[in-house]
Amino acid sequence: MTRACAVLPVLPADLPVLDACLEHLVAAADECAAAGVPTVLVLAVSVGPAALRPVLDSWIPLVGLLDDVELTVAAHPGARDREDLRRRTARELPAALPDPASTVVLTTTCDVGVGPDWIAEHVRHHRQGARASTGPVAGLPGPHATTANLALRADLLELVPLDMDGPGSNGSGSDGVGSDGPGYPPLVHALTPAVSTLRVTLPAFP
């Protein structure tokens, strides 16, 4: 059975947009699970429980109502940045998954809003033979970090680490099939699934 696991690194600076990001991410997880792909959302965090509680207190009960969707927290209090959070989480993930070879691990960032088909579209690429896939991020003036919109098989995490923040597609078209270096599996750069930067409007104060 194919499974999906989406990793979202969360730094203190990400907390103001975390709720908006989760709104998109949970919707994508629900759509993917409804298509028969159990999905786990992993918040890889460097912040303490008290800082996360306002967001988790609202989202954990809601996610609990969804079939085959889980929301978990991987705490890494000493992590320095997003890359470090991904690296630490990637070291733990394969042992925690029932079948890494059939699990698609996705990663994005809190300042990105994914579409409802984001997880399902990456899974579709992998079911068609891709070992890693990525797509554009709309709203950025130039190339984006690959890890803002990346998916790969869990058993390849050691080969293509989730801290790989090299440039990806800039949204102008397909980059074809290539690799990010010697020994890396082919990356399928596609026009889908596209994501976009989040625009969160904060309330005005007098």
Which CATH number do you get for residue 138?
Answer: 3.90.550.10
CB atoms within 10 A of CB 13: 10
Q: Give residue-wise pLDDT tens across range 123-134.
A: 999 898 888 888
* Residue 178 maps to a domain: yes
The per-residue pLDDT for 69 is 98
CB atoms within 10 A of CB 28: 28
* Residue 205 maps to a domain: no
Q: Which of 202, 161, 198 is nearest to 21 (CA)?
A: 198
CB atoms within 10 A of CB 139: 15
pLDDT in tens, the chain (206 residues): 999 999 999 999 999 999 999 999 999 999 999 999 999 999 999 999 999 999 999 999 999 999 999 999 999 999 999 999 999 999 999 888 989 989 999 999 998 999 999 999 999 998 988 888 888 888 766 677 788 899 998 988 876 655 555 444 433 333 333 344 445 555 555 556 767 776 544 444 44
Domain count, the chain: 1
Write out the residue range of the structural domain in which residue 81 sits. 3-197
Question: The whole model's pTM is what?
Answer: 0.83
The per-residue pLDDT for 25 is 97
Residues in contact with 87: Cβ distance below 8 Å, sequence separation at least 6, in sequence order: 161, 162, 163
* Residue 202 maps to a domain: no
* Residue 206 maps to a domain: no
